[in-house]
Copies of this chain bind each other. A is one copy, B any other.
């Protein structure tokens, strides 16, 4: 049977607080604000069970590599700010599926990664 530990709660808090895709490094760093002793192996172990439970999703960012985000957000895309290096989830979709692929290709899904400067860095 599973137990509710302070480090597991810390991870949940990290995702709730940041509300954006996070790297293991960010999760560890921010998680330690809640539990100072938080260990990397513990982060990996909990991320794995959270993915299995369906609580979070693993995504593969072309620049930042593996990131984790809260599941159940619906279709969205990812914006990477080159200034603060954070990734944001952008609701909605600006892709015209008719123009996306030529005739003959059967498109079943897509991922869009945007790059630029986020609102707080653009000020």
Contacts and interface: CB of A to CB of B under 8 A. Distances in A.
A10 B82 CA distance: 37
Contacts of A116: 101, 105-109
A113 interface: yes
Contacts of A95: 94-96, 112
Contact of A62 (B60, B102, B105): B60
Contact of A112 (B79, B108, B111, B119): B111
A92 B96 CA distance: 12
A114 B100 contact: yes
A53 interface: no
A110 B90 CA distance: 13
A110 B114 contact: yes
A115 B108 contact: yes
